[in-house]
């Protein structure tokens, strides 16, 4: 609300994802390849292997074109993009970690210089100097990772930082160690995978087989190690947050499945290639590359997804609002906005008060400043479909807005603002989703009632409060109790289910999980 929102229909999230994915893939490759080139070059000297050496020269050109050019520009790209998409968070990160970034910049400088000298230095420098440059490259690339990893991990698990605001508390946060391990081991695998790609184009089958196998010796062990490191990583993410990836949040769950398949496919392809190394084709190598890409991409995606509702763990929500107020926060905390209202706080809204005529437009602007960091109107995570599918009427929409922070394993910040502003947002949402003006009775069975009104906050699991209660209470009592949901639990919306809806819901719920034991 402090900054304007870049209002594009495809959603800024997608754009960020696009820039990030390619950068991540390239930047990890750049680190692993440092060690790969170095070790391979040493090996070539030791074995007096001219084929390997010739291929390395060719491979290092490819390496330069990818890492020095693309890696550097897309790294700047990440900066540009997060500045456009989450300016408040970027500013906060910069103020906290500017010296970490500045230190990283020193290593980045050494990295680029040594990479170029390494490449241009083939056949011109003594072997010793050439390897020395290789070392400088690898160490500085690794140091960049050591630093950036701290900041990226911080956004997921801020550790004690929100309380102390001490640099080291934020930097050396709970996922720092496992995250660095995942990144480094993966970078070694990637170095092997890119080598695999350039090696697949070698004509001489013997040379090709030798290099493919050598590349594989980087991929296979890494993929054996990764599951263990992943477990270490998950162990350091708060359990409630990890739930998101286990079904509570649709998108995160999708990628949690994808990462397993992709990792297995990558591993199997690499192992198979070991036995047919002479015949590995370029297409084969590209499939391997793509499945590795899917693995890395899923990892980053899950990390971003389970971070929600926050952009900085337990501190700032994705829409830039602060979880708790402080003296200097400019009024951008949930609490203060509830008190003062959105129109009095958000700087880039055209209206300063609500009238009968501008209500719907105000609602649109509220959606822009509070929801659009994660939703679009009708593209990615489009609100039109999400709400439209539920066929909520305007009144239900209004009520549900009060419980956003309870939905889908708490992936959303609470709605923050005055009551009339919530009305305005509901009006606009009702308009775009062509919602009925009156509540209409759900015509289908209990499952449909559940999916319409309850599954936003409740999970289809035997141990969920809804199923536990509905199964154990007798029907009559339940009919009465469901008449007023807030009386059951004060944060539940008063959904005013009809008698028929209640009845079918209860009957249906009683039938669920009968084979399984409820926890």
Partner 1 sequence: MESKIIIPAPDPLALPAPYWLFLTLLVLTFLLHIIAMNFMFGSGILAFIAYQKSKSEEVFGRIYESIVKKIPTLMAATITLGVAPLLFLQVLYGQFFYTSSLIIAWPWFFVLIFLVLAYYGFYSVAFSTHKKSNLMGWILIFSVVLVFVIGFIYSNNLTLMETPQQYAVKYHEDPSGMNLNLEDPTLIPRFLHFLLASLAVGGLFIGTIGLYNWEKDNAYAKTILTFGGKWFNYSTMAQFIVGTWFMMSLPRESIRLFMGRDLTGTLSLTIGVIGAAIAIIIMSKALKSDDPRSGFKKAAWLTGLVVALMTVIREIVRESYLKTFYISHNFDVDTQWGILIIFLVSFAGGVWLWIKMLRVYFKETATT
Contacts with ligand HEC, residue ranges (CB under 6 A): 249-251, 308-309, 318-319, 370-371, 373-375, 381, 383, 386-387, 401, 403-404, 406-408, 411-413, 415, 453-454, 456-458, 465-466, 469-470, 482, 485, 488-489, 491-493, 495, 497
Contact with partner 1 (CB under 8 A) among 348, 419, 475, 480: 348
Spatial separation of the C-alpha atoms in residues 422 and 290, rounded to whole Å? 45
Q: Long-range contacts for 111-120 (Cβ within 8 Å, ≥24 apart)?
A: 111/30, 111/137, 111/140, 111/141, 111/144, 112/68, 112/72, 114/140, 115/63, 115/64, 115/67, 115/68, 116/64, 116/68, 118/37, 118/60, 119/60, 119/61, 119/63, 119/64
Task: Report residue 42 CA to chain centroid gap.
Answer: 38
Q: Tell me: does residue 357 bind partner 1 (CB under 8 A).
A: no
> Is 77 or 247 the residue whose CB approaches partner 1 more closely?
77
Binding track over 404-433 against partner 1, x by CB under 8 A? ------------------------------
Note if the bond before 309 is cis, omega within 30 degrees. Answer: yes
> Is 147 or 269 the residue whose CB approaches partner 1 more closely?
147
DSSP code string of 266-326: HHHHHHHHHHTGGG--HHHHHHHHHHHHHHHHHHHHHHHHHHTTEEETTTEETTS-BSS--
> Is 256 or 406 the residue whose CB approaches ligand HEC more closely?
406
In whole angstroms, the minimum distance from the beta carbon of 168 to partner 1 comes to 7
Contact with partner 1 (CB under 8 A) among 46, 124, 517, 519: 124
Spatial separation of the C-alpha atoms in residues 21 and 5, rounded to whole Å? 23
Burial of 128 (0-12, 13-18, 19+ CB in 10 A): exposed
3-class SS letters over 44-71: HHHHCCHHHHHHHHHHHHHHHHHHHHHH
| Of the candidates 218, 211, 173, 164, the residue with the CA atom closest to the CA atom of residue 44 | 211
Contact with partner 1 (CB under 8 A) among 48, 275, 283, 352: 352
Contact with partner 1 (CB under 8 A) among 54, 58, 168, 486: 168
Stretch that binds partner 1, among 124-132, 262-270, 283-291, 294-302 (CB under 8 A): 124-132
> Is 301 or 415 the residue whose CB approaches ligand HEC more closely?
415
Q: Tell me: does residue 133 bind partner 1 (CB under 8 A).
A: yes
> Is 171 or 218 the residue whose CB approaches partner 1 more closely?
171
**Within 307-336, which residues bind partner 1 (CB under 8 A)?**
326, 328-330, 332
**Within 34-73, which residues bind partner 1 (CB under 8 A)?**
61, 65, 68-70, 72-73
In whole angstroms, the minimum distance from the beta carbon of 164 to partner 1 comes to 12
> Is 59 or 422 the residue whose CB approaches ligand HEC more closely?
422
In whole angstroms, the minimum distance from the beta carbon of 24 to ligand HEC comes to 21
**Within 75-114, which residues bind partner 1 (CB under 8 A)?**
75-77, 79-81, 83-84, 87, 90-92, 94-96, 98-103, 105-110, 112-114
The option from ligand HEC, partner 1, none interacting with 272 (CB < 5 to 8 A, set by class) reads none
The option from ligand HEC, partner 1, none interacting with 7 (CB < 5 to 8 A, set by class) reads partner 1
Spatial separation of the C-alpha atoms in residues 175 and 236, rounded to whole Å? 6
Spatial separation of the C-alpha atoms in residues 342 and 365, rounded to whole Å? 10
Residue 264 Cα distances to 250, 253, 274, 386, angstroms: 22, 17, 16, 33
């Amino acid at each position: 609300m402090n900054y304007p929102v870049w209002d594009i229909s495809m959603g800024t999230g997608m754009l960020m994802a696009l820039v990030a994915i390619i950068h991540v893939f390239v930047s990890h490759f750049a680190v692993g390849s440092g060690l790969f080139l170095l070790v391979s070059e040493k090996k070539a000297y030791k074995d007096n292997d001219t084929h390997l050496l010739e291929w390395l020269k060719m491979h290092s050109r490819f390496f330069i074109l990818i890492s020095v050019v693309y890696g550097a520009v897309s790294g700047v790209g990440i900066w540009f993009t997060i500045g456009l998409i989450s300016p408040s968070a970027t500013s906060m990160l910069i103020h906290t970690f500017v010296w970490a970034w500045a230190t990283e910049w020193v290593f980045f400088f050494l990295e680029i210089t040594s990479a170029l000298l390494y490449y241009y230095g083939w056949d011109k420098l003594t072997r010793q100097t050439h390897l020395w440059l290789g070392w400088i490259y690898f160490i500085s690339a690794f140091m960049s990772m050591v630093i950036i990893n701290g900041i990226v991990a911080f956004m997921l698990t801020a550790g004690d930082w929100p309380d102390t605001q001490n640099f080291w508390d934020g930097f050396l946060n709970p996922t720092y160690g496992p995250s660095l391990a995942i990144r480094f081991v993966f970078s070694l695998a990637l170095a092997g995978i890119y080598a695999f790609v350039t090696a697949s184009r070698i004509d001489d089958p013997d040379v090709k087989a030798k290099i493919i196998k050598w590349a594989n010796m980087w991929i296979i062990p890494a993929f054996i190690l990764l599951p263990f490191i992943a477990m270490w990583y998950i162990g350091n993410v708060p359990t409630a947050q990890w739930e998101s990836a286990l079904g509570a949040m649709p998108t995160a769950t999708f990628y949690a499945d994808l990462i397993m398949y992709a990792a297995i496919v990558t591993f199997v392809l690499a192992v198979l290639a070991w036995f047919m190394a002479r015949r590995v084709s370029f297409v084969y190598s590209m499939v391997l590359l793509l499945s590795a890409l899917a693995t890395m991409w899923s990892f980053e995606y899950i990390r971003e997804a389970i971070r929600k509702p926050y952009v900085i763990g337990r501190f700032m929500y994705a829409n830039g609002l602060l979880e708790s107020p402080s003296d200097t926060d400019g009024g951008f905390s949930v609490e203060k906005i509830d008190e003062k209202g959105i129109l009095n706080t958000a700087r880039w809204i055209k209206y300063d008060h609500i009238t009968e005529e501008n209500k719907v437009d105000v609602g649109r602007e509220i959606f822009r400043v509070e929801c659009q960091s994660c939703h679009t109107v009708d593209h990615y995570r489009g609100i039109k479909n999400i709400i439209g599918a539920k066929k909520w009427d305007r009144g239900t929409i209004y009520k549900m807005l009060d419980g956003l922070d309870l939905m889908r394993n708490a992936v959303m910040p609470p709605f923050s603002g005055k009551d009339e502003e919530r009305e305005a947002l509901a009006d606009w949402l009702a308009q775009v989703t062509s919602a009925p003006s009156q509540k209409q009775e759900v015509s289908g069975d209990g499952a449909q009632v559940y999916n319409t009104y309850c599954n936003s906050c409740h999970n289809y699991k035997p141990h969920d409060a809804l199923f536990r209660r509905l199964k154990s209470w007798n029907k009559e009592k339940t009919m009465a109790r469901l008449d007023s949901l807030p009386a059951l639990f004060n944060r539940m919306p008063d959904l005013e289910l009809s008698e028929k809806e209640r009845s079918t819901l209860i009957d249906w719920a009683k039938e669920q999980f009968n084979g399984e034991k409820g926890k």
